[in-house]
Amino acid sequence: MKVLVTTVPFGDKDKSPLEMLEANNIEYVINPLNKKLTEDELSEMISDFDVIIAGTEPITKKVFNNANSLKMISRVGIGLDSVDLIEARSQGIVISYTPDAPAPAVAELTIGLILTLLRSVHISNMEMHNGKWHRFFGRRLSEITIGIIGVGRIGCGVLQHLQGFGSPKILLNDINSNHNLDQEYNIEWVDKETIYQKADIVTIHTPLTAQTKNMVKKEHLLSMKKDAIIINTSRGGIINEQDLYEVMQSNHLSGAAIDVFDFEPYDGNLREIERCILTAHMGSMSVDCRTRMEIEATEEVVRFLTEQPLESVVPEEEYTVQREGL
């Protein structure tokens, strides 16, 4: 059995996943291009492999049709928008993922970006490096309203972290409102439009689906407060990048932080906006969380190839989301 590891880096900080494969006499190849693969690159590479330990590269019908031996995909991470689940099922390919492992790191990065933008740390840093001394006024979390769109693992993590900052006013939106949270936190469930209009910070934590593609467009950005901040550490494509650029060029919104993009590596025009923080899809890239993701994905591969029950198969609801375009 041969395994293609497409996600990179892999085994850089902790060799345990590689050692696990070797201990089970599993032959593996790590992505020789050392970058996120395109559909064509993966299609050319996949023909002789039985398993993919996958990142966010597009695993499409074209890829599956070139995968003569493929039996399983073990996704390092939670997002499944890059995998054609319906085609995989039609070809009898099993898919597992690591939904819990990335959440703590992404939630912490979100909090860091919020604080950076509220206190203009990024701008002060640039000015100091350019020989300028300017002391910026900022805002504290306890004095503002925060809107969280998407209250799953990561959104809940952000909500929990915010409690350490004086219990700011928090507005929540999710397709499945978890009212158990009402007993623990000072929150209000509202529609997305209310969040756009009332929140000082809007942070996005939804999956990318047919329904959330370009969910945040120019009209929504313009409905936000002029000095509001928007953050996306979930998936590229949820905020329309060109619309965000045009809105920020018009001096609407005091800041933004984008960690995920339609096409990665990103080279778009948001780089022109100094008050827009851009990071290289690094939400999950803490050493502990990335290592846990790699280990959990590899453990699933070992279970599959040794005919043991899998522990993290993609649930049926994810197939429903893709099939029905939810």
Question: Is residue 161 flagged as an active site residue?
Answer: no
Contact 95, 83 (CB under 8 A): yes
Domains of the chain from N-terminus onward: 2-99+285-324 (3.40.50.720), 103-278 (3.40.50.720)
Q: Does residue 28 register a pLDDT over 80?
A: yes
Active site residue 264: yes
CA–CA separation, 194 and 230 (whole Å):
14
Instruction: Write out the E strands in the chain.
Output: 2-5, 27-30, 51-54, 72-75, 94-96, 145-149, 169-173, 187-189, 201-204, 229-232, 255-258, 276-278
H-assigned helices in 46-174: 61-66, 85-90, 103-118, 121-129, 153-162
**Calpha distance 144→229 (Å, rounded):** 11
Confidence of residue 95 (pLDDT cuts 50, 70, 90): very high
Q: What is the pTM of this model?
A: 0.94
Tell me which of 281, 292, 294, 300 is the catalytic residue.
Answer: 281
Q: Give 107-143 pLDDT, tens digit per residue.
A: 999 999 999 999 999 999 999 999 999 999 999 999 9
Taking the CB of residue 323, how many other CB atoms lie within 10 A of it? 11
**Distance in angstroms (rounded) separating the CA atoms of residues 239 and 244:** 7
Handedness of CA 154, 96, 12, 68 (dihedral sign): negative
Express each pLDDT in 214-228 by its tens digit.
Answer: 999 999 999 999 999
- Based on the residue annotation, tell me whether 235 is a catalytic residue of this protein: yes
Q: Which of 205, 235, 290, 292 is catalytic?
A: 235
Catalytically annotated residue among 219, 264, 272, 324? 264
